[in-house]
Each structure stands twice: as structure tokens, then as C-alpha cells.
Structure 1
Amino acid sequence: MAQVRTFRLSNTTFLLLGVLLISISLRSPITGVGPVLDLIREQLKLSATQAGMLTTLPLLAFAFFSPLASKLARKSGLEHALMLSIILVLTGIIIRSLGSSITLFIGTVFIGGGIAIANVLLPSLMKRDFPNKVATITSAYVLIMGIGSALSASLAIPMTHLAERLTITFIPNWAFALGSIIIFPIIAVLVWLPQLRNHTPTTSDVSELDSHSNLWFSTQAWQISLFLALNSFLMYIFVSWLPTILVDTGYSHEQAGVIHGLLQLFTAVPAIVLLPLMSKIKDKRLLSLSLTIMVFISIIGLILAPSLAVLWAMMFGFGCGGGFILALALISIRTSNAHQAATLSGMAQCIGYLLAATGPTIMGLIHEQMRSWTLPLVICAVINIIWCISSMFATKNELLASPKSQMSSYSMTDNSRPLDHII
């Protein structure tokens, strides 16, 4: 009996380690691009609009592949589908690092597809295997995701210098830097291999997602979706362009990379601070207002006092990261049951990714025309005001309207429990 218990403990630990190793690859392949974007543009002769597409493509892939993830899991099993997601990320990193403009964009699409599948399926796996510790494990995996993002962004420029010292000539220095994170998915593949013995489907709330729900005609659902979409819109603009903005204001590439990494790290901090408090805060309007104002101050600060960019990056990261967690919480708290929550989640993420995909390209195009980052940042500040206003509607203390067949007897207090389902 003792041996059986030991095996189970070991298997659970191995599963948790696999989840954390997958999570470290869910942002790092994207956030490492920003610090070396100027090098990529210079060597491949890319316009600002084309450079913005390097962040846009993964978001479009998220919107395209996310609805396919649950179907893939039903057909091949949850464990096999997650393995495919890691392999797609791994393959994308290899292709992207070959050094040409064509392979750069093709590899980026592969990476986006792999990340999208894992984004959809990991919450289902955590709900199935860690039903009593979802919030805790989610905090850990969001934190690891943030650490991976910070490492990728901070080390990108130092890795280009390492390539120079090693006289690596078969690929460009920026390609070597982007390829250096390949160690993360390689280790994840090796650790995940034992899970392929299992062949289990997703949980019913994910696999039975009803994309034709009447929520698409609900004003309340659109308010929540807009809140998440504007959050993602601002976040991915800064993920794409912050290093370039900082370099243009006088920072070195190394300093810009470190500050960019700090922003990424602080997006994970709210996962530790807010998750334990979320169910205790009854009225979310003050919280949402605080987070959105924090981001607004950081954008204005970057315009007026770029010398304090470290402070603005931390504020922006915390505000946007906290806004993302709050948006996911609202999806759970304001719905009547798990099926409705899953439907709203699919709607909000689809809209969010599609809107976010336009941000980097639009801002890159405006910068290319104006030869300045002032107007793009002012536009971001105006959008932030809209986000601030939308948060007042999205965080209303009421359930979404729903047909009688979908309504349950949950109260707002009872609905704090489905938070584990989403995040």
C-alpha cells in the first residue's frame, strides 16, 4: 500500500511539474521578440507595420486555434493534445530561428497555435486533476509564466552579445537569442512524456462549449468582453513596442530589455496578491477603477517622465495583469453555471484576441507615419479611459441575463466558487 501511495504522489508531482514547464513557454516565445525587434527590422528590412505583425500573428493564431483545442482533446485525449501544443511551440521556435523573414513569420504562427491549445486545455486539466487547489496552482503557473516572460525579455539582448562572442554566423544574432529559449519546451516535452500513458478527454464544460449561445446578443456579456479586450489591446501594444519606445527615448537596448522583462514579471504579481482576495471583495468596481487608473498613470508617466520608466513599467504590468485576472474572475462570478461561464469565456477571449491583434500593427503604422511615439501613447491613454469607463459596467454586482433553462439558484456569493473553474 505504501508503494502505491508513493507512486501516486510521484505521479502527481510529475504532472504538476509538467504543467509548470508548459506554462513557462506560454509567453516567453512572444515577449523575447520586443527587445530584439530593432535588430530584426534592420537586418530583414521590415517596416514598422510588418514588425507589428510579429505580435499580431500569435494573437490571430490564438483566436483561430482556441475553438479547435477542445475538439482536438476530445479526439486524441487531453494529455496528447497538450503534448502537441508543446511540440508546436518547439517547432515554431526552430523555424523562427532560421533567420529569414519567411521563416520568422511561419514560426510565429506555429508558436501561436501551440500556445492557444495549451491556454484552453490547461484550465481543464487543473480542474480535473487538482479540483481543490485550482486557485493555488493557477497562481503558481501564472507566476511561472511571468518569470519565463521576464527571463526571455531580459536575456534577449545579452544572448545576442553572446552570439557575437561565440562568432556564430550560421544564423543572425537575433535568431540565436530567440532560439535560446528552446530549452524550455524541450524539457517540457521530456517531462510530459509519462502523461501520454493516459488518454482522457477535457472536462465537459470545455468540450461542450456552445459558441452559438445567446450571450453573443447580451449587452452584459459584451461589456465583460470589452473589458478583457481593451486590457489585451493595451497589453500587447506594450509587449511589442515598449523596448523600441525606450530605446528611442535614450535607453540602451540592454536597459530596455531589462525594463521590458520587469513589466512582464509584474503582470504575474497580481496572481499572488489578488486571487486570495477576489472572493472577499464584494464590489469589484473600486478594484477595477484602481487597476485601470494605475495603467493610465503609467502611460502618461512614460510620455512626460520617461526617465522613470522602471516605475511606469511596474505599474503598467501590475495594472494590466490585475485587470486580466479580474476579467477572468468576472466571467465566473457573473454567470449562473459552468456552461454559461465557459461560453462567456470563449466569447470574451475570441473578441479580446481579435482586438488585441490589431494594436501592435496600428501603433507601429502610426509611429512610422509620425516618426514619434507621442501620438501612439496618447491614443493608448485615450483607449485606457474607455477601458476605465467600461470597467464600471463590466463589474456590476449582478448575474448575466440567461434563459430559464440555463438559470440556477446560485446567488452572487455562491458564484464566487466557479472562480476556480476559470482561473
Structure 2
Amino acid sequence: MNRVTAALLAALIFLVALNLRPAIAAIGPVLTRIGDDLGWGESILGILSAMPLWAFALVSPLVRFVTARIGADRTILAALLVLAVGDVTRSFGGPAGIWLGTVAVGAGIAAGNVLVPVIAKRDYADHVSMATGVYSACITTGSAIAGLTASPLAVALGGWRPALAVWAVPPLIVALLWLMRVRRERTTVMTRPAAIAENQRVAGEPAAGKTTAGESADNPGPALSVSDHAPIEDRPLWRRPMTWYVTLFMGLQSAAFYTMSNWLPSVVVNAGFTDSVAGVHLFVFQSLGILSGLLIPALMRVRGNQVCAAMTASVPMVVAGFGWMLLPRLSLLWSVIGGMGQGAALVVALTLISLRGRTSAETVALSGMAQSIGYLLASIGPLAFGTLAELSGGWTAPLILFTALAATQCVIAVFAGRERV
């Protein structure tokens, strides 16, 4: 296989990233339609919004075991197919289908959430920050497009069900392309022990004959996340304070993003804007994350740590929270500020996972833990937001909670951004 073909196959990981948010981001603009159609209040809609995050929390730690058996590429293929099936089931599976389909959507995306950064780190080992910025931009792009088009699609196609089912098509297309990588894996001249070692290395198990300090026999060179003179950390991941800081940062930035992705249109409409304008505000909030996600890596090594980057990504969401609460008529401005923060925060969170893991195996384990517990924490955001809105009959109380979580993220950013000792 020539180098051009290999590079194109490696770049397919960015197409996978494009599919990791649309099925969720498309919900927010049609959330009111779903509630009116099914007779659901904000509390039940909050549960529906939180369910993908619960699926993330449940499935993320299991991904490493599936990958150990069938390999990373086949796991990604299965995840894309599960995502597509979930999209269709959620729309056309009847009363139970919306819940089962939402769980399937979350499960498919969870596998991608865990493996995309690991595969990107493996395939772009010399450009981790660049690869992280690009696939994060792809994640944000997919989310922004889905948020912008969800309401118009519901009008054009005659309801929220076909508007959500549309998002089964992109993962199917990418799955067909991804088959080329699976076939390449199958036909690559590799001895069975070497193939097993490679799957173990990506899945999170130590491979025989390999070093575990960031260097391997087939990939010599410095570790990605530990300096040449850094001491080896012998404690398990769950006993390291840095693991919990990274996990909390992942959870809090995810809570901010998913809360606004689901409820921002409702907040904007309540401020006196139309549904179409609310969709534009959501698009601005999500799309500006593309720019900030590409810019934030420049701050990732200020003073030798990630504190500056983490704080730069966290403070804007606090400002936006106060803005939506106190001056909702300026919602577009707060969407701009909050959007710049959320895109940068995602890149910081994913980069911290890559930098704090010494090896691919440890990175998978850290990614699974950070995303499992982190998304469980994140689910509090959209669920509590909807419940507080229904109980209080307004949006001030939920926005106070949102702003408080964003402020907590600023505190955690200082600890998570420090270089691991």
C-alpha cells in the first residue's frame, strides 16, 4: 500500500468524528416538537436529553474489552452501524423505540468517543495536538450542522421523526469507507502474535515484549505525555489525583455543552425570538467552537503546562451563563462567547487525556474512565436544567445552576492543567 493511500485511510478517523454529535445535537431544536407530540413536560424531556450521556457512562469503560477481542478498527465499524440503527429506531420504533434508539445512539457514540482520540494519537503520533484540534473541529462541525438544520428538516420532511432519522445516513456512508481500513487490517502481513499485541496495545492491555513507558519495539521514541526524566507512576489510575481532575474537567465541560445544545433554543424562544432565530443562535454557539478548537492548541504549552489553555476555555462559559440569565435579549452575543469557550474546552479535555496517558494502553484506560464518570456527571446538566425549568416555571433557576457548574469548571481547570508530577 502506497503512502498516499495509507494517509487517506488514516484520515478517515476525522470522518468518524463528524458523526459523533449530530444524532444528539439535532434533538435540541426539535425538543419542543417532541414534547408537544408526545405530551411530555420539561422533566421527561430532560431525561431524554440525559440518556445519551448515561449510555456514554455505561459503555465507555466496556469499549476496551470489545477492542481487545476484535480490534480498534472493527469496533469503530460496529459503533457506526449501531449509531445508524439507533437513529432509525428512535424515530420509527414506536413509544419504546425512542428510548431504545436513544440508548443505541449513545452506545455507538460512546465507542467513538473513547477510540477516536486513541486512534488519532496512534496514527498521528508526531502531531497529537494538531490531530486533536482537527478531529475536535470535525466533532463541532457535525454538531453545528445538525443544530442548524434540525428545525428546517422537521418542517420540510413533515415532523421531528424523519428529521432525526436523516442522521442515520452519514454513519452508514462512513461505515462503508471504514471497511477499507478493516480489510487493510485483515490483509496486512502480520504474524498472529504481533496482531494480538497491536490489539492489546490499543485496547488497554500490556503486550508481551513491549515496554510500557511510552516506547515500543515497533514505535521507538519519546513518550507523548511524559518528559524524558519524569518518574514512572506506579499507582493505578483511579488512585491518582490527576485522573480525577481530568475526569471532572471532562464532565463539567460536557455538562455545559450538552445543556446548552439541548436547551438553548428554548431559552432563546422564551426571550422573544422565533424558532428559526433560536436555531441560528444554537448554530453560532456550536460552530464557533470549530475556530476556538483550532486556536487553543497554541496555548497548550504556556509555562510548560495546560493551565492557561484550560482557563481560557472555561471562563467564557461563566460570562455566557451570566449573560443569558441577566440580559437574554443579547443572546447572540452570549452564544458567540459561550461557543468560543465550549469548542476550546473540548480540545483541552481531549488533549489532557492524551497527554496524561503514558502509553496507548493507559490512554485508553484513562479515556474510558474520564468519559464514563465524566459523562455521568455531565448528565446532571440537561436533566437538572429541564427539571428546574418545570418546577420554577422559568429559566432563571436553571441558568443559575448552569453558571455555577461553569464556575466550578474554572477551579478544576487550574488543577487539571498542571503538568503531571
Q: TM-score range by the shorter chain?
A: 0.7 to 0.9
8 Å contact 1:125–1:202 — kept in the other structure? no
The reply on whether 1:71 has 2:68 as its aligned counterpart is no
CA RMSD of aligned residues (A): 2.5
Q: What is the CA distance between 1:11 and its match in structure 2? A: 4.3
Question: Which amino acid is 2:387 matched to?
Answer: L
1:184 counterpart (170, 185, 199):
170
Percentage of matched positions with identical amino acids = 30
Residues 132, 350 of structure 2: 8 Å contact kept: no
46, 65, 68: which one aligns with 1:52: 46
- Alignment counterpart, residue 201 of structure 2, candidates 181, 184, 204: 204
Q: Can you list the C-alpha shifts for 1:171-193, whole angstroms capped at 9, x where unaligned?
A: xx001111122221121122122
Assess if the C-alpha contact under 8 Å between 1:44 and 1:100 holds in 2. no
Q: Deviations over 1:182-211 (max 9, x none)?
A: 22112112212222212465461642289x
SS at match of 1:275: helix
In structure 2, the partner of 1:9 is: 4
- The answer to whether structure 1 residue 114 and structure 2 residue 108 are counterparts is yes
Corresponding residue for residue 365 of structure 1: 387
Please list the CA deviations of residues 344-396 of structure 1 after superposition, one character each: whole Å capped at 9, or x if unmatched. Answer: 43332222111111221111111101110011101211222222222223333
* Residues 72-221 of structure 1 mapped to structure 2, 5 A cutoff: 72-98=66-92, 100-164=94-158, 173-197=159-183, 198-199=185-186, 201-202=198-199, 204=201, 206-208=203-205, 214-221=236-243
Which residue of the partner structure matches residue 254 of structure 1?
A: 276
- Partner residue of 1:234? 256
Q: Distance in 2 between matches of 1:19 and 1:277?
A: 25
Q: With the length of structure 2 as denominator, give the TM-score of the two structures.
A: 0.84
Distance 1:124 1:396, change over 3 A: closer
1:42 aligns with 2:36: yes
Q: Which runs of 5+ in 1 are unaligned?
A: 165-172, 400-423
User: Runs of 4 or more off by more than 6 Å in structure 1?
Assistant: none
Distance 2:341 2:275 in 1: 25
User: Residues 334 and 144 (structure 1 numbering): CA distance in 2 closer, same or farther, change over 3 Å?
Assistant: closer
Q: Is the 8 A contact 2:72 2:203 kept in 1?
A: no
Q: 1:74 to 1:330 in 2, by over 3 A?
A: closer
1:313 deviates by 1.2
- For 1:420, the equivalent position in structure 2 comes to none
Larger deviation, residues 373-382 vs 317-326: 317-326
In structure 2, relative to structure 1, the CA distance for the partners of 1:149 and 1:281 (3 Å cut) is farther
Structure 1 CA distance for aligned equivalents of residues 400 and 112 of structure 2: 35
| Cα distance, 1:276–1:395 mapped onto 2, change above 3 Å | closer
Q: Is 2:255–2:377's contact at 8 Å kept on the other side of the alignment? A: yes
Whether contact under 8 Å (1:73, 1:202) holds in the other structure is: yes
Please tell me the residue identity of whatever aligns with 2:160: W
Selected match of 1:33 from 18, 27, 50: 27
Residue aligned with 1:59, SS: helix
CA contact (8 A) 2:269 2:278 kept: yes
Stretch moving more, 43-52 or 325-334: 325-334
Which residue is 2:343 aligned to? 321
Q: Give, in angstroms, the shift of residue 60 of structure 1.
A: 1.1
Cα deviations by residue, 1:13-33 (Å, 9 ceiling, x for unpaired):
1442x3232211100100000
The one-letter code matched in structure 2 to 1:29 is: A
Report Cα offsets for 1:65-99 as digits up to 9, x if no partner. 11221221221222221110000011011111216
- 2-structure distance, mates of 1:293, 1:51: 28
> Match of 1:46, SS?
coil
1:24 aligns with 2:18: yes
The structure-2 alpha-carbon separation of the partners of 1:141 and 1:392, relative to structure 1 and needing over 3 Å to count, comes to closer
Task: Show the counterpart of 1:302.
Answer: 324
Contact 1:70–1:202 under 8 Å retained in 2: no
Distance 1:338 1:155, change over 3 A: closer
Q: Decide whether aligned partners of structure 1 residues 363 and 279 sit closer, same or farther in structure 2, where only a CA change above 3 A counts.
A: same
CA change 1:72–1:41 in 2 (3 A) is same
Contact 2:140 2:343 in 1 (8 A): no
Q: Which runs of 5+ in 2 are unaligned?
A: 187-194, 207-211, 213-233
CA contact (8 A) 1:124 1:203 kept: no
1:265 paired to 2:266: no
2:84, 2:169 within 8 Å by CA — same for their partners in 1?
no
Matches within 5 A, 1:255-294: 255-294=277-316
Distance 1:55 1:383 in 2: 18
**Structure 2 vs 1, CA of residues 36 and 21 (structure 1 numbering), >3 Å: closer, same or farther?**
same
Q: Distance in 2 between matches of 1:372 and 1:306?
A: 13
Give aligned pairs, total: 384
8 A contact 2:87–2:168 mirrored in 1: yes
Q: 1:82 to 1:215 in 2, by over 3 A?
A: closer
